[in-house]
Amino acid sequence: MFNGLMTNRLRQIADAVRAAGEMSVADLAELTAASEMTVRRDLETLAGQGVLERYRGGARSLLLRGEETPFALRSDEGVARKRALAHEVAGLIADGEAVVVDGGTTCREVARALRGRRLTVMPLSLHTANALADGAGLTLLLPGGEARPGELGLVGPLAEASITALRFDTAVIGCCGLTAADGLTAYDLPEAAVKRAAIRASRRVIAVTESAKLTRTALAHVADAAALDLVVTDAEAPPDARAALEAAGTVVRFAADA
């Protein structure tokens, strides 16, 4: 785990190199107001995560602009906001429900908020499962499937079959992008298939996302906006994005203090 300052700097470096294709150590030091020695250490960390490739005096990105930022970089980013979103979602779920909870950093916070509740929960990633482990009163159902590296989301035919065999009261779904025009989207095709299975198996669908994603569209279509009963986001959501989602048939709810 990284401290907040280091996480922000790593994200800043990763985003800059990704946008430019490649950058020098000197330019990154100027951008981040850090020493070149610190930048070199950060580049080694990012290279170890497969985000970029080091070369003498700089680095080049290994991520396409349409790919997902690694879980380790997102993990400590905006934690207070994600917890506020998670608290709002947890308040919408009644004791006794059967709930399927998606992977991703925001849904991991939802899992933490549900820990100890009298619920039956199927997590869709190992990160989410770990957040729920040993929760008193909670019944934990683990799907099969293959764990995606880094994200540890459970994907593939076994995961989809596990979900399809059940019926849930609520699905809590994260996203990489969500707009009225393109619906809910994800970067990874197998992950998108698992999300679709969870939506089909649930009576109610709650999408939870930071407002920045309400203007983004990722590669894989998961569901139309109309398939979402509720979108929980923060108060910085663009008014036009909110209005378009509501016109498409979903309810947009702002989390307090998010």
Q: Residue 63 pLDDT > 70, yes or no?
A: no
Q: Mind listing the pLDDT tens digit for each residue in 189-201?
A: 999 999 999 999 9
What CATH number should be reported for the domain whose range is 4-66?
Answer: 1.10.10.10
In the chain, where the domains are located: 4-66, 78-254
Question: Mean pLDDT score of the chain, rounded to an integer?
Answer: 90
At residue 68, the pLDDT reads 64
At residue 151, the pLDDT reads 87
pTM summary value: 0.76
Spatial distance between the Cα atoms of 170 and 60, rounded to a whole number of angstroms? 42
Q: What CATH number matches the domain at 78-254, 3.30.70.141, 3.40.50.1360, 3.40.50.620, 3.50.50.60?
A: 3.40.50.1360
Q: Residue 1 pLDDT > 50, yes or no?
A: no
Q: Residue 14 pLDDT > 90, yes or no?
A: no
At residue 89, the pLDDT reads 98
Name the DSSP letter for residue 78. T
Residue with tokens 């999300």: 195
Taking CB atoms within 8 Å and a gap of at least 24, the contacts of 30-39 are 34/9, 38/9, 39/13
